Structure 1
Amino acid sequence: MKSLPFVFGLMLLASPLHADNQATAAKVVVKPVLSSTVTSSGQPIVLPQKNAQVLVSTYEIPPGAVLPTHKHPFPRYAYVQAGTIAVTNIDTGKTETFRTGDFILEAVDQWHYGANTGTEPVKLLVIDMVEKGAANVVLQK
């Protein structure tokens, strides 16, 4: 029974810490950006079946720049941190424009290219999901 006061003392000490953590957590804001099961061209999202590797990089594309025609053998996701980029899918004939705050689920194994159509650099946070050691960009020859 001597341990009962000790336990109550610990509870009293821990309560303010718990309350501080709750107050901090209450300030966290989660804003959904996107939820999808398909790519931008309507393909089902399929992840690598073996030895998956996640690669994260940033891109900065100057105004007026046009990326070479390319495709991705594995899933690629991009968050537009700044600017405006138009992505033209040659296989579908469709062009989509993405702006600051948009999330892009790039087409897999379809030829496409991007162009900075704005007046400021496009900044992208790019996430690739590949088989370990594999590249995720194939340039059109």
Structure 2
Amino acid sequence: MGRGDLTNGQWARLEPLLPAGKKPGRPQTWTRRQLIDGIRWRTRAGAPWRDVPERYGPWDRAYDLFRRWQRDGTWKQIFVQLQAEADAKGLITWDVSVDSTIARAHQHAPGARKKGPSRRSLLAASTPSPTTTAWGARGAG
């Protein structure tokens, strides 16, 4: 078992929340626990999928499980269930604090303060008059 792998207690808590397998028959070569540990290793390390250590199974099997559960909402369902149970036990504090000194608009946001001359006045000043060209001659053409 690796340093960041699920403990037996964590696995016992997580296993009932996982969807039931649909395919009867031959047992899987790689257990779900190994594949989930591989997914957790990859997200924790930030490494490419192909770098998932072999002890977690083939990288493409871990990736396939991750994407399948991401698409069908399994990860979100597990998260919501664990969050609801933790909230019911009083393990989550829902204090929210917003400090307006850090909620600033970007300099190009609508209503941002302008410094110096306006953009229109700069464009008007840089546009040549219709009677002159870039070479200073009138109506050359």
TM-score bucket (shorter structure): under 0.3
Q: Higher strand proportion, which one?
A: 1
Q: Which has the larger radius of gyration?
A: 2
Using structure 1 for the length normalisation, give the TM-score. Answer: 0.20
Q: Higher helix proportion, which one?
A: 2
Using structure 2 for the length normalisation, give the TM-score. Answer: 0.20
- Structure with more relative contact order (C-alpha pairs < 8 Å, separation 6 or more): 1
